[in-house]
Amino acid sequence: MALPQKKYYRQRAHSNPIADHCFEYPAHPDDYDWSVLYPSLKNNENTNKVEFLDVGCGYGGLLVTLSPMFPDNYMLGLEIRVKVSDYVNDRIKALRIQHPEEYQNVAVLRTNAMKYLPNFFHKGQLKKMFFLYPDPHFKKAKHKWRIINKWLLSEYAYILAEQGIIYTITDVKDLHDWMVAHFKDHPLFEEITEEELKSDPIVEKLYESTEEGQKVTRNNGDKFLAVFRRIPDPMMQINKNE
């Protein structure tokens, strides 16, 4: 089975995340049958399996890159655009046929990450989240559409395990500064130092694994990386000590 061709799946680069799209989602994470996305799973193995989440996964470059690196971790890409999510799904199906026993741990789901994450993931379920080259929404009036904001960070903190990691990268300096400022203002995240990141094998893959990252390289653009760790709730620590 040949890999799908992107030219047959093209659509607009931007999608309004506030608009009412037609999505199906479970009332509770336990209600979702993950074996539909991961054939290697059985119905009784659904709970808490997905640990890596690529939000706005685009054409799935990061998922395909990380799959053989972390074969024991289930990974999910979220994509709001219909044709793009269709491409990733077809890409994964083709790779599974071309490489039996491989790429069984990756899948894509079309949904709106700004609205439905708690419907799919338990508290503290995820170990890693990725926000690679998110839509900058340049106009100030559209900053509320940015995937990193103070309200959504609390939601991400809810589904991330303590010590879980969020990776961000962008070629837009203003967006980078925005994301860093919001993470630093949030009490449940701390920035990971450059020295610590040197030992993380994922970091180097963030620059070139996606179509957007490759485009920035071709255009000789800059790339701004920031990585944050989910830390324990300081208020919970105080309550424990009382």
Q: Which amino acid, residue 68?
A: P
Q: How many CB atoms lie within 10 A of CB 14?
A: 13
User: Facing residues of 50 across strands?
Assistant: 74
Alpha-carbon gap, residue 106 to 66, rounded angstroms: 9
- Answer yes or no: are the C-beta atoms of 54 and 62 closer than 8 Å: yes
Helix (H) or strand (E) holding 238: helix 234-241
Helix axes 173-185, 150-159, angle to 10 degrees: 60
Helix (H) or strand (E) holding 189: strand 189-191
CA 15 to chain centre: 17
Residues taking part in catalysis = 135
Radius of gyration of the chain (CA): 18
User: Facing residues of 128 across strands?
Assistant: 52, 165
